[in-house]
Structures are given as structure tokens and as C-alpha cells.
Structure 1
Amino acid sequence: MIYTETKEYRLNGENQELPGFDQKYSNIVDYILKITEEIWEQRAIWVIYDTYAKDLVVHAGGLDIQGVEEVVKSTLLTLSSFPDRKMLGEAVIWSEECGDAFYSSHRILSHATNTGKTAYGTATGRKVEFRTIADCVIKSNEIIEEWLVRDNLHLIEQLGFDPFEEAKKDNRYEDTNPLEIAPSKLGDLDPESPAHLIQQLFQRVYSDRMISDIGEFYHAAAVVHGIRNKNYHVSDFERHLCDILSCFTKEKVILERITVNKKNGGHELAARWVLKAQHEKDGFFGTPSGKQIILRGINHYIVKDSRIIEEWMLFDGYDVLCQINNERS
């Protein structure tokens, strides 16, 4: 699906028609930023019950999590581990759907100190920084579906733990089967649209592995912000992407959605994607396991003059390690 919006909304900004929403939210961007601050910085956990549907589905890595109580549980555990967490809302890329529903892709940079126990061990006292992107479908003041991607690989490394060793102890995939992934519904796009640029990037570089063509999609001075707080120029990013994709065979890359916002003389885009493949070669994820994996990602782009000038590429590398070590063959 492709959704394009030309209206720019901000926190406490211009009013937008929001059917069924609480009147304290002036627009959909305001809604996302305010509930994030209320829940995470003001510790108003009750807001989750007001703004998340009871039976919502959260897609996280290769798992689907059901129900608002799981959201509450996860939030409380995170706040217990990182009680001083501060969240910088870097971008909210949004769209309106069917007149009464909305879609948002919210990129967040968090700073926190680990003063409580985590799933990896006792408190380390270390300061950490990690990025998250949450894509949400919202209707009548409630999030009814969410795709959540967090750089847990970087988080675990900053805490001083070895993510490869931690993944061997994680049992989240022991009793699960790989999810089925629906085919892309994007169809053919206007060749002049920024969404077409991203669609072609995924087709030629991610799917067809024509990685040497990557320079056709980026400005020469473009910067890509990758996981583990690493920044790349185009030639370095080409090598990094090759290192990731070379781990896999029989891969199927599905570009699920592109959201486009017109902004500052260019366009800001969110692209949600999923890779389903076999881990059969050396590379970014270590020794080949032969396991089937699902890698979910959300990328944000700034496009000007028909080229990408800045990108944020986010996926949960630790979740893939957990699948490699614990998923049933």
C-alpha cells in the first residue's frame, strides 16, 4: 500500500478531524507524541488502556503478540530496568486511511541508565542509547495493530553482554513455527513518485541483489544511520548491506507498505519490510545454522531531487540470533 500526505502536523499544532478521538489531541502526530510522553516519561501506565485496543496485535520480529495486557507487561518491565528512560521523538510519518483510521511510523531515540534487572542479568549501571520505530494503525483513539522494531542488538552490547551467547539462552522461539508472510500489494507505482524510488531500491538491491546499483538511489553525500549507532556513506553502506544479505539464501523480501509525507521541499518516507530466508552462509549473523528466519525492518528516508539524502535503517538483529539458536527446524 502507498499513502501520501501533503499536510504537515506537529505537537500542539493545527487541528485535524480525528473521529472518536479524545479532544485533547489536536492531530494524529500530536496524539502519537503525547501518548508516548504520558506512558514512558510521565509513567502514566493507565494511558495504555485508553489508547491500545484490548485485542490488538503487535508484530515483533518473527512473533505476533496479542492483547493490551502484554503491552502493559512489557512497558512495566522496561521501566523497571531503565527508570530514567528519556525518549527523543525524531519523526512521525503519518497517513489517513478510509476516513476514520490513521497510520503512523514513529522513530524514537532513547537514552537511559540500566539500574534494574533485565532479561540478560542484574543491573549494570551503564548508560545506553538505542533507536526504536513503531508503526501503528489507530482508530477511534485506540491503536489496533502495531509493528515494533528496536535495536536490541545494540542495547545488549552496550549493557556489556554478548548477544550471541544471550541468544543461546533465549527460548522465545522453542515452541513456535515461522510466520507466513503475505505477498506485497504495492503494485506498479508512478515512476516520478518518491515511493517508486524506494520500491525500485528494494526490488533491485534487496531482492535482486544488484548491490552495485545502490549509488543510483542515493545522493553522493547521503548518510545512512544503521543499527548499533553506525553511520555509513554510500560505499560503506553497500558493503554493510552485502554483509547482511550474504548470510541468506532462498530469501523473499516483501515491501509491505510505503508512507509518504511531503516536507521541507522534499519527501519523508517510511517503508516497512520483511525478509524471509534460510541462514546458510557466513556473515553478519555468524556461523550458518540452516534455520529459516524472519527479519522485520522499518526504514525512514528523506528524499530530495529524486534521490535519498538520509536514511534510518532499523531491524532487530538480536531477534534473528534468537531464531537461529532456538527456532525449531
Structure 2
Amino acid sequence: MSAIGTREVVEGFLREVRSGRDPEAAHRYLAEQVTAHQLESEHPRALPRGPANYAEHVREFRKLFGDFDLRIDELLVDGDKAYARWTQFGHHQGDIDGHAPTGRSLSVIDSACYRVKEGKIIEYWIQADRWGLLAQLNEERL
């Protein structure tokens, strides 16, 4: 896949699916079998993902953050891989790690490296600023 195709796939995925605008469009961007590497320093793991469960994953974000906005801050492409960093802006609408909803504004910074083959994302490695989110949630308790 050319770098242009990789960019189109990843940018479309972020703007349509990960943004929460159209979770059901996941089938256009994700292969049936995707390996999702969750890069958490205390518990790194790889999860199987597919279009249906990724769409559910995004719907869960909408329950927690409401109709959030996703801003792509950086997108770098090299062959079949693309690195993306984004900021998600929403409101605390659901229970997050034992923190009851407050309606207050929240922002989350995430980044991921996606691998694309034959026009579909087949693997990704994601890191989230979970400490930054926790700090915001803890401020809400004050």
C-alpha cells in the first residue's frame, strides 16, 4: 500500500470512526481481525479487535464523554504505517474508573501507530494519557 493510501485509511478512520461520528463505519477501515496492542506500562497486552467490537468500543466512549470532539494533532505516514496523535474533548457523562459523572469538561491525549494492508487497518499500538485523565477526574472530587 502506498503512503497516500495509508494516510487516507488512517485519517478516514480517525475522522469518521474514532471521532464517534460514525462508529458503524469501522468495517470500511478495519480488517476483520485486528491486533490492538494496548501499551500501558503496568499491563501491556494485545487484544483482538474487529469492526463490530471497535464500533461498540467507540459507543462506550460516547457514553463516558458524551458527543466528544476529536482533533488530529499529528499524522505521520511511512509506507504501511501511520503514527497519529490526537486530543479528545468531551464531558464527564459516565462512570470512569469509579468517578461518578459530573458533566465537567475532560480532555484526553492519545497516540497510536497503525499498520495498513490492502486498504484496511490490520494492527495498531495505542498509548493513552491515562494519568492526565485521572488527574482531571481527581480534580472533580475536590
Q: Same fold (TM over 0.5)?
A: yes
More helix by proportion, 1 or 2?
2
- Structure 1 residue 231 and structure 2 residue 47: aligned? yes
Inter-partner Cα distance in structure 2 for 1:285 and 1:202:
28
- Structure 1 residue 215 and structure 2 residue 31: aligned? no
Secondary structure at the counterpart of residue 318 of structure 1: helix
Q: Tell me what 1:203 maps to.
A: 15
Q: Tell me what 1:295 maps to.
A: 108
Secondary structure at the counterpart of residue 290 of structure 1: coil
Compared CA separation, residues 230 and 288, structure 1 to 2 (3 A): farther
Select 1:254's aligned residue among 51, 71, 86.
71
Q: Is contact 2:35-2:46 (8 Å) kept?
A: no
Q: What stretches of structure 1 of length at least 5 have no aligned partner?
A: 5-191
Identity %: 20
Secondary structure at the counterpart of residue 209 of structure 1: coil
Inter-partner Cα distance in structure 2 for 1:206 and 1:288:
22
Give the alignment's Cα RMSD to 1 decimal.
Answer: 2.5
Q: Is contact 2:17-2:58 (8 Å) kept?
A: no
Q: Is contact 1:256-1:274 (8 Å) kept?
A: yes
Compared CA separation, residues 242 and 232, structure 1 to 2 (3 A): farther
Q: What stretches of structure 2 of length at least 5 have no aligned partner?
A: none
Inter-partner Cα distance in structure 1 for 2:97 and 2:53:
15
Inter-partner Cα distance in structure 1 for 2:61 and 2:35:
18
Q: CA deviation at 1:291?
A: 2.0
Q: Tell me what 1:276 maps to.
A: 89
Compared CA separation, residues 318 and 212, structure 1 to 2 (3 A): same
Q: CA deviation at 1:283?
A: 5.4
TM-score by length of 1: 0.37
- Structure 1 residue 242 and structure 2 residue 59: aligned? yes
Q: Is contact 1:247-1:285 (8 Å) kept?
A: no
Aligned length: 135
Inter-partner Cα distance in structure 2 for 1:284 and 1:293:
14
1:272 maps to a residue whose letter is R
TM-score by length of 2: 0.80
Higher RCO structure (Cα 8 Å, ≥6 apart) = 2
Inter-partner Cα distance in structure 1 for 2:61 and 2:32:
22
Compared CA separation, residues 203 and 324, structure 1 to 2 (3 A): same
Q: Tell me what 2:131 maps to.
A: 318
Compared CA separation, residues 259 and 248, structure 1 to 2 (3 A): same
Compared CA separation, residues 284 and 206, structure 1 to 2 (3 A): farther
Q: Is contact 1:219-1:309 (8 Å) kept?
A: yes
Inter-partner Cα distance in structure 2 for 1:302 and 1:327:
37
